């Protein structure tokens, strides 16, 4: 994986549109880059296969987006990218990574659970604005230490 640069946004957006039910816009990716979020792409043979965006907030972070090209899914790429983003956060001394996932997104839920995320909340109707409706599950992954067994 390498850092995403503005020239990658078209290719990333093409994947996003193909694989996400409610895709980010080009502008969302451009904003993430401009805001200094951790934006990474997986590239092989000059082709972008996947991407992930992590927003740092003090000593915590929020995984805002992760996607793998449709013809590259189910080969371990999503897990490898997710684990790399967690390593990146760990390397920046972050304590926890959060994320919101659509309750109906069984593939993503299974991926996150397998990487050590646990469910810490349910937000009903979270995706009602431009998200087509549906509940969100909030998940957290603790990167270091334990506080009373909490995630």
CA distance linking residue 112 with residue 31, whole number of Å? 25
Residue placing its CB nearer to ligand COA in the complex, 29 or 147: 29
Residue 50, C-beta contacts closer than 8 angstroms, at least 6 positions apart: 15, 41, 42, 66, 67, 68, 69, 72, 77, 78, 81
Interhelix angle 9-19/26-34, rounded to 10 degrees, is: 130
Catalytic residue at 43?
no
Q: Is 11 in the site for ligand COA (CB under 6 A)?
A: no
Quick one: which segment of 6-14, 73-81, 83-91, 137-145 binds ligand COA (CB under 6 A)?
73-81
Q: Is 75 in the site for ligand COA (CB under 6 A)?
A: yes
CB of 94 to ligand COA, least distance (A): 19
Quick one: which segment of 31-39, 103-111, 127-135, 141-149 binds ligand COA (CB under 6 A)?
103-111
Q: Is 123 in the site for ligand COA (CB under 6 A)?
A: no
Do strands 118-123 and 2-3 pair parallel, antiparallel, or not at all (unpaired)? Answer: unpaired
Q: Is 65 in the site for ligand COA (CB under 6 A)?
A: yes
Catalytic residue at 112?
yes
Q: Is 67 in the site for ligand COA (CB under 6 A)?
A: yes
Backbone angles phi, psi at 6, to 5 degrees: -55, -35
Per-residue buried b or exposed e for 8-26, using 16+ beta carbons within 10 Å of the residue's own CB: bbebbbebbeeeeeebbee
Contact residues: ligand COA, CB under 6 A: 19-20, 65-68, 73-79, 101, 105-108, 110-111, 114
Catalytic residues: 100, 112
């Amino acid at each position: 994986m390498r850092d995403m640069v503005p020239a990658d946004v078209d290719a990333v957006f093409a994947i996003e549109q193909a694989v996400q039910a409610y895709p980010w816009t080009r502008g969302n990716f451009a904003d993430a880059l401009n805001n200094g979020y951790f934006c990474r792409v997986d590239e092989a043979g000059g082709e972008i296969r996947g991407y992930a965006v992590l927003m740092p907030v003090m000593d915590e972070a929020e995984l805002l987006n992760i996607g793998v090209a449709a013809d590259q899914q189910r080969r371990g790429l999503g897990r490898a990218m997710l684990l790399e983003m967690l390593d990146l956060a760990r390397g920046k001394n972050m304590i926890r990574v959060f994320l919101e996932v659509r309750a109906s997104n069984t593939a993503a839920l299974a991926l996150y659970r397998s990487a050590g995320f646990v469910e810490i909340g349910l937000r009903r109707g979270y995706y009602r604005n431009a998200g087509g409706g549906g509940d969100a599950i909030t998940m957290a992954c603790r990167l270091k230490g334990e506080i009373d067994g909490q995630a």
